[in-house]
Homo-oligomer: A and B are copies of this chain.
Amino acid sequence: MKPIRFNVDPKEYKHLKVAVEGPIARITLTIPEDGGLRDGYKLKLNSYDLGVDIELADATRRLRFEHPEVSAVAIQSGQDGIFSAGANIFMLQTSGHPHKVNFCKFTNETRCSIEDSLQDSKQYYLAAANGLASGGGYELCLACEEIHLIDDRNSTVSLPELPYLGVLPGTGGLTRLVDKRKVRRDLADLFATVAEGVKGQRAVDWKLVDAVHTASTFHEKVTARLQEIAGDGNPYKGITLDVLKADYADGGAEYKYVNLKINHDSRVATIELTGPDAADGDIPATPSDLGCDWYGLRFWRELDDALLNLRNNYYEIGTVVIQSSGDINNVLKLDNALAEKKDDWFIREVLVEIKRVLKRIDYTSRSFFTLIEPGSCFAGSLFEIALASDRIYMMDHEEEENFVAISTLNDGFFPMGNGISRLNTRFYYEKDSAEKVIAAKDKLLTAAEAMALGIATDTPDDIDWEDEVRIQIEERASFSPDALTGMEASLRFPGPETMETKIFSRLTAWQNWIFTRPNAVGERGALTMYGNVRSPEFDWKRV
């Protein structure tokens, strides 16, 4: 299969149009049937595959950076009578388990980033369902702050996955019904088993949508509501995001500051990070003048693309080694400058972009080992990548200097999905420990100091380093990939759970299970048999 690329050019969007008029943006889905990522299925009825979501994720990011003046965003459909039929069923039927799961994960991340928009970017999303919103189509609505449905006697919202396909709504639908929209659990149960869905006033009464409007008033009412939400918009002027460039030639991906190298034999990838120059920490009076080529933004966009590239194109790479090179003081300088300008819209967008990329690591089902060696620059925001890793190895070198450093950005700027910082997650029940680490900020910490503070897993000396680290990496790569995925998903999120972590744990884990079951994907499973004249056959055992 052709590799999947995430760095799309908005001029080449196939599936959606973005129109900005003053403080209001409209994202219109008009998905061509032949626009699938690969052959073998037709994207009928505005159904989607990963390719559509890649554009949607790109569009929401661009709205933040390029149109920060926008304060209200409508998601709507360009097809009459149909908002979206959700994930394409024939695509799911013909996709392997890893693709299905990674597809759902990315769509979930995009939905969460739409959901973040109000708090993070003062952009309020409204779903304007001018027709049937079914399955993932309705789940896209659920990610918005409010849902308007056309009342034309036909158009329903529905989650038909369970009755039709024997699977769950895979993009947070069940969790958002009860946890976000406060639909009563028994009504949610009823709704999720009624394939034809719910329409009109009942949809409002059950809290499935916020308002219904007749066909003749729909556009007008939605527009009025958008204007009400939008007000005068935000007083910001955007920048242009270029299309991220990468050299994918030799397997992996080489960017300006990030280099993803794939070793197929060992099933280990290396991500090499390059630190900033001193000048990158000089932030001008109008920070957005820095533009998209600035290290502070480009580095994280590159890392994000590298992670997505790894996730979706290299399933067999189970272990990721993270290394860095550069001047640790430059990172501290940049971090402190970011913290100082945190109230500027552009810097705020950069900070929440960093937050999202770091969460991408948390939710990536690969083992991450960060290696800290002389010449590295794991400080602050870059050290946060180490904190997101499963293990941190730091060389205790007898002669060469080898430091890490904490910056003020480690102190709550990048909450995980569970709502708290990685340091507080790490030491969740011992606030003292996290406070001690924060108290050491802006200092260069040796391996012994890092070990004492609990921010290194192990600190082999320079003589043993090569062997010890190699053995750990080889061993990791030898374990059952499934068991590692389950273990990491369990250990990475101690402490509180939020709707977001519920979606990525409870719901996703059940969905993964169901996606492996013969009742869904076996020869006579419901997903396999969809569209067939024969009925599915179930093994009736409850588990």
Q: What residues of chain A have their CB less than 8 Å away from a CB belonging to chain B?
A: 96-98, 101-102, 161-163, 165-168, 174-175, 177-179, 182, 184-190, 192-193, 267, 315-318, 365-366, 389-392, 425-430, 454, 457-458, 475-476, 479-497, 502, 505-507, 509-514, 516-517, 519-520, 526, 536, 538-543
Contact = CB atoms under 8 A, between A and B. Distances in A.
8 contacts: A97-B543, A190-B458, A192-B491, A315-B540, A318-B542, A480-B526, A483-B519, A512-B543
B542 A430 contact: no
Nearest to A386: B186
A317 B540 CA distance: 8
B391 A190 contact: yes
Contacts of A389: 186
Contacts of A98: 541-543
A454 B207 CA distance: 13
A186 B494 contact: no
Q: Give the interface centre of A163, A167, A506 by most chain B CB atoms within 10 Å.
A: A506
B185 A491 contact: yes
A168 B487 contact: yes
A186 B543 contact: no
A394 to B, nearest CB: 12
Contacts of A543: 97-98, 101-102, 315, 365, 481-482, 485, 512
User: Which residue among A426, A457, A494 has the maximum number of chain B CB atoms within 10 Å of its CB?
Assistant: A494
Count chain B CB atoms within 10 A of each CB in A178, A315, A536 and give the residue with the most.
Answer: A178
A71 to B, nearest CB: 26
A70 to B, nearest CB: 29
B486 A511 contact: yes
B186 A392 contact: yes
Contact of A185 (B101, B365, B425): B425
Contact of A490 (B175, B365, B476): B175
A8 to B, nearest CB: 24
B486 A514 contact: yes
Contacts of A510: 485-486, 489-490, 509, 512
Given A487-B192, A494-B178, A543-B97, A481 B538 contact: yes
Nearest to A96: B541
Contacts of A161: 483
Contact of A426 (B185, B365, B480): B185
Nearest to A509: B509
B483 A179 contact: no
* Pairs A-B, 8 closest by C-beta atoms: A166-B480, A509-B509, A486-B510, A497-B497, A178-B494, A505-B506, A315-B541, A513-B513
Given A480-B514, A480-B520, 11 more contacts: A166-B482, A166-B483, A168-B490, A182-B429, A186-B392, A315-B543, A483-B526, A486-B511, A497-B506, A506-B509, A509-B510
Nearest to A189: B390
A319 to B, nearest CB: 10
Nearest to A167: B483
Contact of A430 (B102, B182, B186, B457): B182
A196 to B, nearest CB: 13
Contacts of A539: 481
A539 B390 CA distance: 22
A18 to B, nearest CB: 33
A427 B366 CA distance: 38
Contacts of A526: 480, 483
A175 to B, nearest CB: 6
Contacts of A425: 185
Nearest to A511: B486
B316 A542 contact: yes
Given A510-B509, A514-B482, A542 B315 contact: yes
A213 to B, nearest CB: 25
Contact of A483 (B182, B497, B514): B514
Chain B CB count within 10 A is highest, among A186, A192, A425, A490, for A490
Contact of A487 (B96, B101, B174): B174
B162 A487 contact: yes
A530 B475 CA distance: 18
